[in-house]
Structure 1
Amino acid sequence: MIRDLHEWPKTEAEAVAIQERLRPLVRVEDPPQVRTAAGLDVAYRDEDEIVAAVTVLDVTTLSVVDSAVVRGKAEFPYVPGLFAFREAPSLLAALAELSVRPDVLVCDGQGLAHPRRFGLACHLGVLTDLPAIGVGKTAMGRYEPPAEQRGSWSPLHQDDEVVGRALRTQPGVKPVFVSVGHRYTLDAACDLTLRLAPKYRLPESTRTADHLGRMQP
């Protein structure tokens, strides 16, 4: 399930080089039919101890059909733009424990909305070759607030390039920030996000993974 495309780096320079090398492998394309979506989230127990949680949801019913939790140690320091190198190893280990292979990964983070256009959703998508999208709580770029109605959106810009969208999932609440990770289009990523967020700001995939991680002792 996981492609062996690189060793985990020890230095910032090595990590940046990996992102630059893998970025051309990202594909923006119409996704296959999506029946199940995996939410991925990481909870920190202290500065370096992390709990990686993955829940797989039936997209029609939003019920959890599979889940996995892995405790790990963040071996890479926190460096802006290199977030994936702290969290991806444990998230990949959790994905490997699933009995249901999800049709799409919904990451609590960024995809192409990243300084090198290779955020966590891109990294996990390329390593697993699964369709992936990023649904972040914080903007990585400039945007105008979208209209207040559910489903309204505005483009998210970095360096005069559209890298994602600010999407209003519920009326009168802050938008989320959607970007392509791998094997998805931006239109389809926003459609999926709205399907997964019928009641709350964040998609149920993220909410259930976050809840699972926080439940762990």
Structure 2
Amino acid sequence: MAALVVAEDAFGPVRVLGGADASSLRFDPTRTVHAAMVALDAETLAPMGAGGASRSGGLPYIPGLLGFREVPVLAEAFRKLPVKPDLIFVDGHGMAHPKGLGVASHLGVVLDVPTIGVAKSVLCGAVEGDFPDTPAARAPLVWKGAIIGMALRTRRGANPLYVSVGHRVSLATALAWVERTLRGRRLPEPTRLAHEEAARVRLAAAATTG
């Protein structure tokens, strides 16, 4: 699947942005994953709708194989969106992954939709070069001599984000879109709203089963 990832811009006009996130308990014996997708107006970032899904009995949590656990549920949430996004921000890595197929790339290939990986921690590689504690500072994330993503400081004093190619988007374009959608927060608006929606999906599922 990693061989199917397109690491350059291959999309048309972006009118609708998407955000994708999943929520689960690492040691939940039911292996339930709660996923959410949100749609936003690309110009104003106003919410345009959301879709959610929960599924039990999938793969257990295995580092490096998160896509196989989360993507089936994220794809179900995508199908429930009232309007489909032209570009999706995914809470997780894209090509900044030991196999080049993090959850953002995995989802992009499965849906054949442009995706950006926006992760909050490093899975592989290390940040190299000068990386000051100033907003908009950036430094390459390097693994085995290759740049696999970019560390981006979105706010002073905040931990950086790690932006990487998901699918059908170049790294430069991915960074530009993340910076464009920050609104003064640590997280870009699409993944911030998706995180909140995933929490709502999880709580709603708990209320139903409880």
What TM-score do you get using the length of structure 1 for normalisation?
0.85
Secondary structure of residue in 2 paired with 1:190: helix
Secondary structure of residue in 2 paired with 1:213: helix
Matches within 5 A, 1:1-217: 22-30=1-9, 31-44=11-24, 47=28, 48-140=31-123, 141-144=125-128, 146-215=131-200, 216-217=203-204
**Partner in structure 1 of residue 207 of structure 2:** none
- Alpha-carbon deviation of 1:91? 0.4
Conservation of the 8 A alpha-carbon contact between 1:38 and 1:56: yes
Change in CA separation of 1:188 and 1:51 when aligned onto 2, cut-off 3 Å = same
C-alpha separation between the residues in 1 aligned to 2:103 and 2:62? 13
Change in CA separation of 1:171 and 1:59 when aligned onto 2, cut-off 3 Å = farther
Conservation of the 8 A alpha-carbon contact between 1:55 and 1:208: yes
Letter in 1 for 2:153: R
Letter in 2 for 1:28: A
Secondary structure of residue in 1 paired with 2:163: strand
C-alpha separation between the residues in 1 aligned to 2:98 and 2:181? 27
C-alpha separation between the residues in 2 aligned to 1:98 and 1:125? 16
Which residues of structure 2 form unaligned runs of 5+? Answer: 205-210
- Alpha-carbon deviation of 1:150? 2.2
> What is the total number of aligned residue pairs between the two structures?
196
- Alpha-carbon deviation of 1:203? 1.1
In the TM superposition, structure 1's runs of 4+ consecutive aligned residues that sit over 6 Å from their partners are none
**Partner in structure 2 of residue 3 of structure 1:** none
- Alpha-carbon deviation of 1:74? 4.8
C-alpha separation between the residues in 2 aligned to 1:171 and 1:25? 37
In percent, how many aligned pairs have the same letter? 38
C-alpha separation between the residues in 1 aligned to 2:92 and 2:161? 10
**Partner in structure 2 of residue 18 of structure 1:** none
Change in CA separation of 1:178 and 1:59 when aligned onto 2, cut-off 3 Å = same
Change in CA separation of 1:35 and 1:170 when aligned onto 2, cut-off 3 Å = farther
Deviates more, 1:54-63 or 1:27-36: 27-36
- Alpha-carbon deviation of 1:87? 0.7
Letter in 1 for 2:4: L
Conservation of the 8 A alpha-carbon contact between 2:32 and 2:58: no
1:146-199 per-position Cα deviation (integer Å, ceiling 9, x unaligned): 223322210001111110000112233111000001100101100101111121
When the two chains are superposed, the root-mean-square deviation of aligned CA atoms in Å is 1.5
1:33-81 per-position Cα deviation (integer Å, ceiling 9, x unaligned): 3222111111126711221111111122111101001111151121111
